[in-house]
Amino acid sequence: MVLDILFSVVLIILVSFLLVNIVESKVYSTTTDNINSQLNNVGKMAFKNIVNNPYINCYAFDSHNRYHIPACLTENSNISKNNLGIPTNYKCSLTGYAFTANECTDVLDPSIDNYYSIDFNVSITPNFAINKKRYIDSLSGNDNILNTKQELNLKVWR
């Protein structure tokens, strides 16, 4: 009888430790998933803001209007963390072209294995403003204003 009670107590203690271990593992997994999800969301937003942001992208113009040109940058595009939507507690690296105003110049430590990275192409033009006729001609292959393609790499991490 005493052995049965002692065995039951030991069994209850072992099951309790097992349950605590499972709960801790689940909490850690959920926390890690949340951190990865936040990192991916920040990285995707930064990428979208590089290729589709009227503050840093080129535009076509005519006598009355301005038309935003996605994925078109100049050497003077203002690549700031604010323009890319990257919070101050994140770091970033944008490589592939020497922009004059690039805040994303952090160096990724090789020991960091959790980061967002994407390679993408943009057009590099000499000026932000492109005449609408030249832009349309470039789309139809009759002008080369948008032919200077550059592959960039964006990395974002914490």
Higher pLDDT, 3 or 114: 114
Is residue 86 over pLDDT 90? yes
Cite the beta strand spans of 91-147 per DSSP E. 91-95, 101-102, 115-125, 129-131
CB 93, CB 118: distance < 8 Å: no
- Average pLDDT of 68-83? 94
CA angle at residue 23 from 18 to 24, to 5 degrees?
Answer: 100
- pTM of the predicted structure, to 2 decimals: 0.78
Percent of the chain with pLDDT over 90: 66
- Average pLDDT of 101-115? 94
CA angle at residue 153 from 147 to 156, to 5 degrees?
Answer: 145
